[in-house]
Amino acid sequence: MADTESDCESGMTDPDSDEYDSEMELEIATSYVQLCIEYVQKYYMKRPICISILSGRSYVIEVLEGNPQVCYDIFRMDKTIFRHLCNELKRLHLLEEDTGIVSVEESVGTVLFIVGHNTDYRLTANRFQHSLETIQRWFRRALRAIHTLRCLIIRPDADAAELPHVLRGNEKYYPWFEKCVGAIDGTHISASAPFGRTTAFRDRRSDITQNVMCACNFDMQFTYVHSGWEGSANDSRVMQDALGHAEYEFPWPPRGSYYLVDSGYAIGSAFLPPHKSARYHAQEFRGVNRQPTTPQELFNYRHSSLRMVIERCFGVLKAWFPILTEMHSFSISRQRLLVTACCALHNFIRMYNRADEMFHVWEGSFVPNSDANPVGAARVGSGGTEKVFNARAQRAMSEYRDAITAAMWADYIGNRD
């Protein structure tokens, strides 16, 4: 009897189960139909994205023929400098015209729009009315072209072996730093770290950055850029890498000349840091009763004041190109290109538009030599880092610094009395 009842129950159909199966089938069918509709709308009934009547080419022409301030605000340079940059890239065959698609002016404008406003590809594509693929391709091409241009404009003056004439009339610096040809320092540029290497790119403030070492002259032009090091690397380590490899082409000064560096770098035959264990930064001497009280403090104060030119260069660079303070998710190699390309743009503007308002904001009362030759043959090579930083060279430069410090203090006391 029990077996009969069990057989009957097993042969019965559960109405709740049938209803559940029907609902599942209906839901699957509905989802399938929805996917089909979306597919047809996306691939067969596409709505165009670039619908503006103002194409990218027309937009660039409108900006260049309009109010000069508009061009400066959008492309971060005057219209004459913009046209000159495009003409130079054409003349040097660094960037070729793509007839009917993207002009050189449009390609350069794309780069300046992205680095000058930190915009992403999608917004740039909407502004210039091109597909994402076109914008990405021409951004890469124009960026590489500007990066290549650096070989001609990021280099020291071949005749630079001492202070420029404009500073020789300043008793604060001359004759004490007579053989100084520029300043070197590192700066942290925002970075996008590769997967698994985030910790290496964190600087002491826990920001994701790359440590970039730069040299500049007293005309506020970069003469050397070494980028790509993780933010956790210290300045001395970055310099060691730059000096130790001939392929990086560090511009060594003539024998007897030197660069000013801060206390984060070692003293050497071509590098003059300040005295340690004494006040150094210029702002520490501002205010009543805060004048230098020892020979070392006086030397450090004037050293810091003269070396400040590299800080001004960094200030102008980051104010011009906000992408350096909030980097996009580019590869490390492209991030390095971005840094050197921005430095090249910095120099190009300085060379051909000395009256640019950004320089006036940052240079303060310092007026560089307008007669300086902006392009020269760089002195490059391995430099023999062992000789530069060996005990004998360090002792000689330390004695040289002590002699300057003593003479500077004697002159300072004599003039004060």
Backbone angles phi, psi at 182, to 5 degrees: 165, -165
374 pairs with which residues across the strands? none
Q: Looking only at Cα atoms, what is the longest distance across the chain?
A: 128
CA–CA distance from 137 to each of 56, 131, 145, 345, 364 (Å)?
Answer: 15, 10, 13, 20, 40
The one-character DSSP state at 102 is: B
Using a 10 angstrom Cβ sphere, with 0-12 exposed, 13-18 middle and 19 or more buried, the burial of residue 380 is middle
pTM: 0.82
Residue 355 CB coordination number (10 Å): 7
Instruction: Copy the structure tokens of residue 377.
Output: 């043959």
Q: What is the pLDDT along the chain (417 residues), one digit of tens a residue?
A: 445 544 544 555 565 666 667 778 888 888 888 888 887 777 766 666 666 677 888 999 999 999 999 999 999 999 999 999 999 999 999 998 776 678 899 999 999 999 999 999 999 998 898 888 999 999 999 999 999 999 999 998 877 888 888 888 888 999 999 999 999 999 999 999 888 888 999 988 889 999 999 999 999 999 999 998 999 999 999 999 999 888 999 999 999 999 999 988 999 999 999 998 888 777 777 766 678 889 999 999 999 999 999 999 999 999 999 999 999 889 999 999 999 999 999 999 999 998 888 887 876 633 333 333 333 334 444 455 667 888 999 999 999 999 999 999 999 988 775
Helix (H) or strand (E) holding 186, with range, is: strand 180-190
211 pairs with which residues across the strands? 188, 229
- Please give the Cα distance from 332 to 338 (Å, whole number): 10
